[in-house]
Structure 1
Amino acid sequence: MKLSGPAARRYLERPDPAHAGLLIYGQDAMRVALKRQQAVAAIVGPDAEAEMRLTRLPGADLRRDPAAVQDAMRAQGFFPGPRVVLIEEATDAGAPALTAALADWRPGDAALVVTGGALNARSKLRKLFETDRRAVAVAIYDDPPSRDEIAAELARAGLAQVPPDAMRDLEALARALDPGDFRQTLEKIALYKYGDSAPLSPADIAECAPVTMDAGLDDLIACAADGRLPELCTLMRRIEGQGIAPVSIAIAALRHFRALHAAASAPGGPAEGIGRLRPPVMGPRRDRMLRQAEAWGAVRLEAALAVLVEADLSLRSSSRAPAMAAIERALMRLASMGRR
């Protein structure tokens, strides 16, 4: 039997104990591993390995010792409860051994959980699990988690109620991060909110999200975009003291103003454009960038980009002008433009 979409998600959360086998396969090994971990925990519980109710067998060993799978499925441990035989990274070479194991399975034997890579439609392993009525095959695609999947992860982490604006930022974060990093971020958010009765906010998510930009550079460029010239000069001295290269400042400023230009030029307006940015912008920084995109407008942002491109070319040329002074002059010009 083959499952996909919501049916597959529900099955992995609560596998049928009457089924003999489960195949989980996909291109992304991390996504497959997370779904396998979820399914195994649902079948045998969190303490199965300590109670010796989980047996691991490498997929590469199936061809050399095909009887090992059947022996492991029939073996009885010291602790009562359901058992799982886990075959990781299986290939079509192990299909004969798994065929015999599924055919020989009886109620009371261990469940068979198999993981594989990107198996095509002609795969013997796929056909085995898709055509057997007592087995299930689940394909894991590289799509970002849906809203329902994020809600399920939040519930497991202890965050059942999430406001719409916070869920919007979590969906953007899920599109930008790898599955493992996203799960760790959710766990970090749950710890951050432990004992806090206030609902989850975009600011909370921004505090826990992985940092993608140096905080000092972020503040410096925000001063230029907001037209805060006195603060810009103070921050410039601090950035210079940290030893950050002028080219790094130029690259960060170009990235920021290009994002503003993309948001201001979006057909649905700056709010829609901000939501489409990659990597996603969340929390107070999102509100600030939205305000900046609306204040500057697409035309003035094009002029700002021209100033930054000119400064970047000057920094990369053979000019003998002081590099830090050149980028500071460019940012001061932007701050003056922002004030107007």
Structure 2
Amino acid sequence: MSQELVAWVGFIIFVVVVLAVDLGVLNRKAHVVSIREALTFTAGLAVLALGFNALVYVMYENHWLGLGNHVDKLDGMRNDGRLAAVKFFTGYIIEISLSADNVFVMAMIFQYLRVPPQYQHRVLFWGILGALIMRGTMILLGATLIARYHWILYLFGAFLVFTAIRMLVQKDTGEDVGDSAVIRWVRRFFPVTPTYHGQQFAILQDGRRVLTPLAVALVLVETTDLVFAVDSIPAIFAITTDPFIVFTSNVFAILGLRSLYFALAGAMEKFRYLKVSLAAILGLVGVKMLVADLLKEYIGPSFNFYLLGMVALILVIGALASVVAARREAGNDRGVLTD
């Protein structure tokens, strides 16, 4: 266990360095993050994730620091380099996909609270830092429970299938962020200034500490991630119960969420079939979790590769359908104008 702890500590140090470079070097001064800057940072994080994926292969193949020595509760096999790499990449893709839905809510929060664009990065930075701690705690708790009670896997699978069905049948109510119970709770128990004070989350006013609207935005972002984590954590456990793979793939997805927001926030309405794609992915991994024993018996470890291919196919079909629908709608609009 002490060897595995070294791997965990090493990865956490790596994450701290990435965050320090982000806040202390790349974003030392508050500024509006351009789409080009966001795409560059997103691509950089994707390259880091792929590089780490290769490292996962080497570490598990050679059992460095004790990784890969334990049986995966989901499929009853030890993760060699090939299996570990596929599971990490599949988990990363699924978590990135589920995080995209979070972008909608973040955009609504910033729009309602009128967060100045130059301070949005600061909110997302500290919000995602808190998300790392929350999700890390949830993952360790989930891994501990699964190690003791195998039946929890079936509970997770049923929950994911239920969530997928709910996403398909539930209509958007258009609920105003201002009606959020979180905002009412914050304003009830903490004094909040009516205006922003630069990038400060709190200021001294009349001898007492009061929050700024930026702090309210931070609390909402943290709460939103907690809600989304309830879906995403069981989804990653549908891929593997190895806590190191679960945590690292989740962290890379969360790190990419911030830059993903600045790259996609203005164009998310064009991805009209995103929710359908996410529902299909959740349903797929939920069913996979429920019938994992049958898949292991009749297909063997290859079902992990099939799952990765099916997830990629669902995302591609959803993206292409969205592009076709957007172009068709644009063509109809031009036809109406010419008439």
TM-score (structure 2 length as normaliser): 0.21
TM-score (structure 1 length as normaliser): 0.21
Q: Which has the higher contact order (CA 8 A, sep 6+)?
A: 2
Bigger Rg, structure 1 or 2: 1
